[in-house]
Structures are given as C-alpha cells and as structure tokens.
Amino acid sequence: MIEIHDFEWTRTPKSYSYDKDRIEIITNPHTDLWQRTYYHFRNDNAPVLQMRTKDKFFSFVVKTEYASKHRFDQCGVVMYLDSENWLKASVEYENETFQHLGSVVTNHGYSDWATTAIDASVKSMWYRLSRREEDFCIECSQDGIHFSQMRVCHMWEAADEIRFGIYACSPEESSFQAVFSDMELTECKWLPHDGQKPDQIE
C-alpha cells in the first residue's frame, strides 16, 4: 500500500487535496515539462509529486481521471530526476475530436515525444511504470486490468535512487482538475526478455 506521506512535491500546484487513496490537482496555467527538441524552448515548471526508491525492479500503477478542455492540458505518470533527465506519459488534450496518448523521454536535456491519437471523449486512463535497473517500460490501460505497451526506454541517469509518481500541467492559458487514484507499488510486472540472448563480450 502506498501512503501519501511517502510522496514529496517538486513544485506545488496552486490547489490540491488528498485523502487516503485519492489525490486531486488543479493545474496552474503556463506549466509544462519539455526540453529543447524541435520547439527550441525549455519548460520546467510543472507540479510533480513523487516518492523515492533504490529498488531496481518494481511496477507503479495509477489511475488518472481528468477534465481537460484546452490544448495541451495533460496529466499522468512521471519519473523526474532533474530538469534534464525525466520521463512522462499522459493523455494530452488537442481539440474536441481527438487527444494525444503519448510519452516523453528526456535524456541529457533533449526530449522526444511518441504519440497515438485517441478520441477526445476518453476521460480516464491507467498507467503502469516498470523499472528493470536503468531500463523502463510504460504501459497504459482503460480498465486497469489489460495493459498495452507504450514505450521501452533507457534512462542514463537512473543508475541508483530514482523518484517517480504523478504530474499535471496546462502549458497554455488553462486550468483543469486531475484526479489520481488506485495507486499501487508491486513486484516488477515487466518480465525478463525471453528471446534473443544478450551479446557476449569477448
């Protein structure tokens, strides 16, 4: 069981509340996480709520519900080490027709963004973040039972203790309610690879 007192803020939102198993955040306008790539700007002011661990093998699950309504409104799972090394996954509102379900990985100050379009009517999403040493897997689910892989990545600065948790932000002139619940920390659900053997170093 995850306790709220296990978490700490990296930047606090203007409004938030929590009880035993539910966290609500009201986002601040003009908040975001992005580094350099394509847009050439650096945004590093989104509220992030995380816990610390040195465990090299685990999975973290969280359910998100969101009343996003403006372009780029987003909330989801995050692993924020510092301003230039982090990853996040979220549903990012685009317009009344569609949203971007995607993930961003930032290593050494450069972000990438991998997305797929989903219907704008989707207002809830589960995420599972799994760690195997310095490698990570992000999965999503609409029912909290059946998860689909979004991303496998390597984080160069995640060799020891890391911080992970949740975030919510509104990059433009907007504010919305994001609710996080059903948080769970388990043994690693991302199983060892059972295909091609690792290269042998001679």
**CB burial readout 170-189, b (16+ within 10 A) else e:** bbeebbbebbbeebeeeeee
Inside any domain, residue 152: yes
Report the pLDDT value the prediction gives residue 20, as an integer from 0 to 100: 80
What is the chain's pLDDT, residue by residue, as a tens digit (202 residues)?
Answer: 687 888 999 999 989 999 888 999 999 999 999 999 999 999 999 999 999 999 999 999 999 999 999 999 999 999 999 999 999 999 999 999 999 999 999 999 999 999 999 999 999 999 999 999 999 999 999 999 999 999 999 999 999 999 999 999 999 999 999 999 999 999 999 999 888 888 876 6
Q: Which domain holds residue 132?
A: 4-186
Inside any domain, residue 194: no
Looking at the structure of the chain, the number of domains it has is 1
Say which amino acid occupies 4.
Answer: I
**CB burial readout 35-65, b (16+ within 10 A) else e:** beeeeeeebbebbbbbbeeeeeebbbbbbbe
Helix then strand count (H, E) for the chain reads 0, 16
The CATH code of the domain that includes 173 is 2.60.120.200
List all residues 6 or more positions away from 3 whose beta carbon is below 8 Å from its beta carbon: none
Report the pLDDT value the prediction gives residue 200, as an integer from 0 to 100: 74
> From CA 54, how far away is CA 42, in angstroms rounded?
29
Inside any domain, residue 173: yes
